[in-house]
Structure 1
Amino acid sequence: MNLQQLEYALTLEKLGSFTSAAKSLSMTQPALSLQIKNLENEIGISLFDRSRSRIEPTEQGLKFLLKAGEIVMAGKQLKEYALTLGSQFSGELKLGIIPTLSPYLVPLFLDPLLGQYPELSLEIHELLTEEILQKIRLGDLDGGIVSTPLARQGITVTPLFYESFYMYQNKEDGRSDKTLKVSNLDLKNLWLLEEGNCFRDQVSDICSLKDENTGTQISYHCSSIDSLIRMVDHQGGMTILPELTTLSLDSHQEQNLVLLEEKVREVGFITRKLTGKEHLFEVLNDKIKSSVPAPMRDKSGREVVDPGILESWK
């Protein structure tokens, strides 16, 4: 067994096809098949189920590939570490950020970070949490900024800040309260994000929603908080916003906000263990924390809402 064989197996897992993997690795399909078979014979288990149109890891194979990914990543750390010896804060960071954070958080930390560290290069992808986790595991991303807490094998979590929840209402059918307990929230005409977004799951949690019918005549499926705000402005009703979103509202829209007490959303940075880029993560996280309003760095004894991320790899 060697690192090259492990990389072959990880590429096959990622692409799901011997033909695609062989092309990506610049080798023939028979040669790749032989390498994978030799690896399976040596370890005594079948890594892949070849009976499907897309090749998928077996249950034992997935466990092996998780560990293989850690080993291959550890080998790459040596190169990453060597690059940092000459210039401590140069290199590239590939990050994933969930859609309910990206348009509001990235503009806050981007210029301060790159202004202080001009040799640092950032590649940012707006993705759902599960996509970010999968790409981190496969090595396509270095880290991600998501709603935490979460538990996932091989993943480390660093809490960054905490967002309050706000009800955003149409002033014509809204209430005059500036703060409101969640238990007193009227759920009629509540606009929600599309299924699969962890912020929707959090809203469902804090509002104790039992089903998808919240009283609206229109079934509106979207993944953009800005779209929900516009729907409230033009169609009435209300939606729930995380705190960073409210910083981009105009003075007229700010009058439509009602703070929901008691609960907060935790935002954290996630990455694989021992990537070799920990020094870059540290400066990134420091810039993110310093870019948000100071009160958001402390949850102040409030309950953190569970983002509903499963604890095992899919």
Structure 2
Amino acid sequence: MNFQQLEYILAVDQHKHFGKAAFSCDITQATLSAMIKKLEEELQVVIFDRSRQPIQTTEEGEQIMELAKKILANRRELLDLKDDPDETLKGTIRIGIIPTVASSLLPIIIPDFLKSFPELELDIVEITTERIQEELANENIDVGILATPLENENLEENILYYEAMMVYGIGEDDKKFVTPKDVINKKVWLLEEGNCFRNQAVTLCALKEKVVEPKNLNFEATSFDTLLHLTDQFGGVTLVPELYYNLMPENRKEKTKHFTAPMPVREISMVYQRPYVRKRSIDILSEKIRELIAHKLITHKFKPKDMSIIGI
């Protein structure tokens, strides 16, 4: 038995297909099948029911999966002890990040990460908050970057920054700051159902089920770019986070306003399964993100009393 065999069975358990599992492990299907068959013979159990499509993990196999995850996690912990004292990160970090953060945060941090940690490989995927929690529980990713706080006692949260929520669609002749009450009386474009930023916008502005679309238009936006175009075309307003605002052209910035104090913000954190064997690596990455982001946010000068954290 070896670590590779454990990685192979976990891949098959995840993909429910020997060919896809082999592709993800960068080996031939014949090699993967032979290694798994050898492990089954050594343990004297059938790990997968190959007669089913998709392939099913047997009851005994499920128990082996749990043990394999623990063994590989302990292996990563031992390897992490070899980290150099000069804070050089090595290996692979698998990151899940929500789309409303990815579009504005990744262009800021990735170039610096690649330069600062040349021996670190970043494996990044855009997924929802719900999927991040599932993938962390299944150990398919190492960390998630998303809006918090979460009601998940199994996850540790490293707060990275507080990001102001802003209103787009306010004319430059209007007042400098707006209040949630100002938004309630306007038509509001929102992201699709299930998006945490939509939930925060609804909470902030007490919108409930209010809609903005013309009666013959049924549309669920998946990006801030789309929301801006819809606002320009049909009127009304929409909400955007501050890092996204920083990427907007000047003519659109003129239509965007901050809320009055206490300013509504979303809390963005790096989360990981508790306990996490590579905590030192996560702490280093978290601090690097804070360093790169701080000067780009109005909130970095704020005291707690100046902000109102909007839950998800």
Shared fold per TM-score greater than 0.5: yes
Kindly provide the CA deviation profile for residues 261-281 of structure 1, in whole angstroms up to 9, marking residues without a partner as x: 442100000112344432322
TM-score, scaled to structure 1: 0.75
| 1:214 correspondence with 2:212 | yes
Which residue number corresponds to residue 223 of structure 1?
222
* CA deviation map 1:151-188 (0-9, x unaligned): 335321111111111110063xx870221221332354
Answer yes or no: is the 8 Å Cα contact 2:170–2:256 preserved in 1. no
The one-letter code matched in structure 2 to 1:300 is P
For each residue in 1:124-173, what CA deviation from the matched residue of structure 2 results, as whole angstroms up to 9, or x when unmatched? 222212222222233332212100111335321111111111110063xx
Structure 2 unaligned segments of length 5 or more: list them: 23-28
Question: How many percent of aligned residue pairs carry the same amino acid?
Answer: 27
* 1:40-51 → structure 2 map (5 Å cutoff): none
2:257 is paired with a residue whose SS is strand
Contact 1:18–1:33 under 8 Å retained in 2: no
Between the two structures, name the one with larger relative contact order (CA 8 Å, sep ≥ 6): 1
1:125-136 equivalences in 2 (<5 Å): 125-136=125-136
Post-superposition offset of 1:17: 6.3
Report the 3-state secondary structure (helix = DSSP H, G, I; strand = E; otherwise coil) of the residue aligned with 1:201. helix
Deviation at 1:193, TM superposition (A): 0.8
Aligned residue for 2:32?
26
Q: Does 1:300 align with 2:304?
A: yes
Q: CA RMSD in A?
A: 4.0
| Distance (whole Å) between structure 2 residues aligned to residue 238 and residue 24 of structure 1 | 57
CA distance in 1, matches of 2:80, 2:69: 16
Q: Residue 272 and residue 30 in structure 1: after superposition, are their counterparts in 2 closer, same or farther (change >3 A)?
A: closer
For the 8 Å contact 1:14–1:138, the answer to whether it is kept is no
Report the TM-score, using the length of structure 2 for normalisation: 0.75
Which residues in structure 2 correspond to 1:1-314 (within 5 Å)? Answer: 10-11=10-11, 13-16=13-16, 26-27=32-33, 69-70=69-70, 72-82=72-82, 84-85=83-84, 88-91=87-90, 92-169=92-169, 171=171, 176-211=174-209, 213-217=211-215, 218-261=217-260, 262=262, 263-294=264-295, 295-297=298-300, 298=302, 300-301=304-305, 302-307=307-312
Number of residue-to-residue matches in the alignment: 298
**Cα distance change of structure 1 residues 72 and 89 upon mapping to structure 2, 3 Å threshold:** same
Q: CA deviation at 1:299?
A: 6.0
Alpha-carbon distance change, 260 to 20 in structure 1, aligned in 2, over 3 angstroms: same
Structure 2 SS opposite 1:177: coil
Aligned-pair CA distance for 1:39: 7.9
Unpaired runs of 5+ residues, structure 1, are 41-46, 308-314
Cα distance, 1:20 vs. partner?
7.0
Quote the Cα distance in structure 2 between the aligned partners of 1:243 and 1:66: 41
1: distance between equivalents of 2:56 and 2:184?
46
What's the offset of the Cα at 1:66? 7.0
Q: Tell me: CA distance 1:27–1:116, structure 2 relative to 1, closer, same or farther (3 Å).
A: closer
How far, CA to CA, are the matches of 2:62 and 2:311 in structure 1?
A: 27
Is residue 157–residue 271 contact of structure 1 (8 Å, CA) maintained in 2?
yes
- Counterparts of 1:75 and 1:119 in 2: how far apart (Å)? 19
Structure 2: distance between partners of 1:97 and 1:78:
27
